């Protein structure tokens, strides 16, 4: 095990134990998007989960959004990845992407696409008997979401590491919240994990991409800015808010 591998395991361990994410007899469903974040997550969990609790099962799901003419190739590549991790994977083919970007949709395409994709993931969890759904959101995602919600949502909130939904029927987990995106990309190269691109026409033109680039500039000019923003979420002085 490399030094980087140990670092990622240690940070994931911290999140799992701190937020009590995994219990005995859980059935986890890892949502694999095709990006390296979720691929790294499944790669890590496939080996590390037995250390967290007893009799825990892992499943994975990939929802293909239907962009372009490479759906079959994407699904085959995903199945190869599932086979490599030895995790039982489910592949769901949809036309969510083209529909979200069509004239029939008057909403934000990213919002509708995300909502419809999330619904398919929960349907898969129901069908497979999973009680916890695991996403590959990392530290950068947490910070970006905070700023997105402040700028466009006019609220101070972000992604929750362990979120109970549907009256506690499911829990949404984010074990990579202490891992920076740069480390995930580095580890993906180390493990020869190749991302499976969805060919989304909105890629690179979203609010999240705008905030990501803004934070990168800020962190370049003021070293540690992103880390400080992340840390501030655990040091909220409510007496000094309106």
pLDDT in tens, 130-169: 999 999 999 999 999 999 999 999 999 999 999 999 999 9
Give the distance between the most distant pair of CA atoms in the chain: 55
Q: What pLDDT sits at residue 43?
A: 97
Q: What pLDDT sits at residue 69?
A: 85
pLDDT digits (tens, 9 = 90+) for 64-84: 999 988 999 999 999 999 999
Across 65-190, the runs of DSSP E, i.e. the strands, are 88-93, 132-134, 162-165, 170-173
Angle between helices 3-18 and 181-190 (to 10 degrees): 130
Q: How far apart are CA 97 and CA 64, in angstroms?
A: 9
Dihedral sign (CA 199, 201, 203, 204): positive
Q: How far apart are CA 100 and CA 116, in angstroms?
A: 9
User: What proportions of the chain, in percent to the nearest 5, are helix, strand and coil?
Assistant: 50, 15, 35
Confidence of residue 103 (pLDDT cuts 50, 70, 90): confident
pLDDT at 94 over 90: yes
- What average pLDDT does the chain have? 95
Is domain 3-240 given the CATH code 3.40.50.620 in the classification? yes
Confidence of residue 197 (pLDDT cuts 50, 70, 90): confident
Q: How far apart are CA 226 and CA 218, in angstroms?
A: 8
pLDDT at 209 over 90: yes
Q: Please compute the mean of the pLDDT values over residues 15-33 and round it to a whole number.
A: 98
């Amino acid at each position: 095990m490399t030094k980087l591998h140990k670092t990622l395991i240690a940070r994931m361990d911290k999140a799992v134990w701190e937020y009590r994410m995994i219990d005995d007899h859980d059935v986890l469903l890892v949502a694999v998007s095709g990006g390296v974040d979720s691929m790294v997550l499944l790669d890590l969990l496939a080996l590390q989960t037995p250390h967290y609790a007893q009799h825990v099962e892992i499943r994975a799901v990939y929802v293909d959004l239907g962009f372009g003419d490479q759906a079959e190739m994407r699904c085959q590549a995903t199945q190869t990845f599932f086979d490599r991790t030895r995790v039982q994977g489910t592949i769901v083919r949809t036309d969510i992407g083209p529909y979200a970007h069509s004239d029939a949709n008057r909403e934000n395409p990213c919002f509708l696409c995300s909502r419809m994709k999330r619904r398919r993931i929960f349907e898969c969890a129901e069908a497979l008997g999973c009680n916890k759904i695991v996403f590959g959101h990392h530290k950068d995602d947490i910070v970006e979401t905070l700023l997105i919600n402040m700028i466009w949502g006019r609220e101070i909130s972000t992604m929750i590491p362990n979120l109970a939904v549907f009256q506690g029927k499911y829990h949404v987990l984010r074990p990579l919240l202490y891992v920076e995106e740069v480390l995930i990309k580095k580890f993906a190269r180390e493990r020869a994990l190749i991302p499976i691109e969805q060919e989304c026409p909105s890629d690179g033109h979203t609010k999240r991409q705008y905030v990501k680039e803004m934070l990168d500039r800020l962190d370049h000019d003021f070293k540690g800015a992103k880390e400080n923003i992340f840390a501030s979420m655990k040091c909220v002085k409510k007496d000094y808010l309106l």
